[in-house]
Amino acid sequence: MRSFFQRYLLPGLIFQSVTIAGGYATGREIVEFFFNAGPTGGLLGILVAMVIWSITLAACFELARVTKSYDYQTYFSQTLGRGSILFEITYMLQIILVISIVGAAAGELLSENYGIKAIWGTVTMMISVAILVFFGSGLIEKFLSLWSIMLYLAYAAFVILCISVFGDKIATNFTTYSIGEGWFISGLTYSGYNLATIAAVLFCIRHIKTRKEAISAGLLAGPIAMIPAIFFFVAMIGYYPEIMEQSLPVNYLLNILDVPVFKILFEVILFGTFIETCTALIHSVNERIAVAYDDRKSHMPRYMRPVIALVILFTAIVMATNFGVVNLISSGYGTLTWIFIILIIVPLFTIGIRKIIKQK
């Protein structure tokens, strides 16, 4: 059972862990990418992104398996050659952006709900991430997979509560508004940006042994990562379009539901998703540095892992403090999306597929 979980489900859960907090955990990213197409159009856009994720991850996992590429530098040297440095530079920009968004959201979550200064939310997140990366892949895999399962339960309960309280509003809005334009492009751009988080999933591909396992894990990863987003999207449609003005849509809906115990539990789980996303992204950087040490017949000192984590986190939090979550999402995501499509999807389905086919 453990082997089945690690080979078929773990990559999808790790991928979900990386994408959710920097993306749709607060609902703000869903609003930015999908709400302009209306309720039905937005849902179609989400499904487009899910299909693109599944197909791309299936090819990605198989390429990583056959080339034994378990860190992003080794992986992108297979598809970009010396041009892999372009991905590395852009990926570091994305890490800073995503952690900035997560840090801003963590601060706003505590500030809006409990009157706690935003800095304490970010400090708590920083310390938690530093502890996790210090202990390495084993603990990170356990934490990310366990928290992802808890997240599924929380989002399922969330959408059930929303349907029970204002399900009539959700149904009315789905039938009232027509399908808007641009839903396919929204799905394409959303999927392209988030596929950069492939870099943070590669460390767990070492569990996969066969082509069937790699392709199956990739195809499953799309739905695993996107089903909670579908739950959340459906819930938010109940207050479409006014919810588009909220910086933290999840907080807006939790206040409408007015179930104090559930609100606290959901926010604890939400805060945990902030930690897991930052942990996975920073761990990918540490794994890349560890490989560089190995190439020099040396070993990366363990103390460097939390030090690198704190440096990245501090840089990102400074950005979060200065710009805020809404500005970071609206201005930062669109800029990097097409770069990642060029650097990830195009080389994978040309050079990468050729390398996969050549493997017996």
pLDDT of the residue at 334 = 59
Q: Rounded to whole angstroms, how far apart are CA atoms 297 and 187?
A: 44
Backbone angles phi, psi at 248, to 5 degrees: -125, 85
The CB-side HSE value for 341 (13 A sphere, CA atoms) comes to 16
pLDDT at 325: 47
CA within 13 Å, CB half, 132: 26
Rounded-to-integer distance, Cα 284 and Cα 305, Å: 11
Strand extents, DSSP E, 123-164 = none
- Quote the pLDDT of residue 196: 80
Dist. CA 155–CA 143, nearest whole Å: 18
Residue found under tokens 């773990």: 10
Regions in the chain scoring below 50 on pLDDT:
325-326, 329
- Give the end-to-end CA distance of the chain in Å, rounded to a whole number: 28
User: Encoding tokens for residue 178?
Assistant: 């027509």
How high is the pLDDT of residue 322?
A: 62
What local confidence, expressed as pLDDT, does residue 326 receive? 47
pLDDT at 4: 85
Q: Report pLDDT digits (tens) over 273-332.
A: 888 888 888 888 888 888 888 877 788 888 888 888 888 877 777 765 665 544 554 555
Its domain, for residue 223, covers 2-358
Name the domain count of the chain: 1
Residue 332 confidence (pLDDT): 52
Residue 224 identity: I
Amino acid at 337: T
- The neighbour count for residue 210, using CB atoms within 10 Å, is 11
- For residues 246 and 252, the answer to whether their CB atoms sit within 8 Å is yes
The gap from C-alpha 333 to its chain's centroid, in whole angstroms, comes to: 13
CB within 8 Å of 173: residues ≥ 6 apart:
39, 237, 238, 240
* Of residues 131, 236, 113, the one with CA closest to residue 174: 236
Quote the pLDDT of residue 327.
Answer: 53
What CATH code is carried by the domain that includes residue 128?
1.10.4160.10
Residue 111: CB partners within 8 Å, gap ≥ 6?
117, 118, 121
Q: How far is CA 323 from CA 316, 326, 330, in A?
A: 11, 8, 11
Identify the pLDDT of residue 258: 86
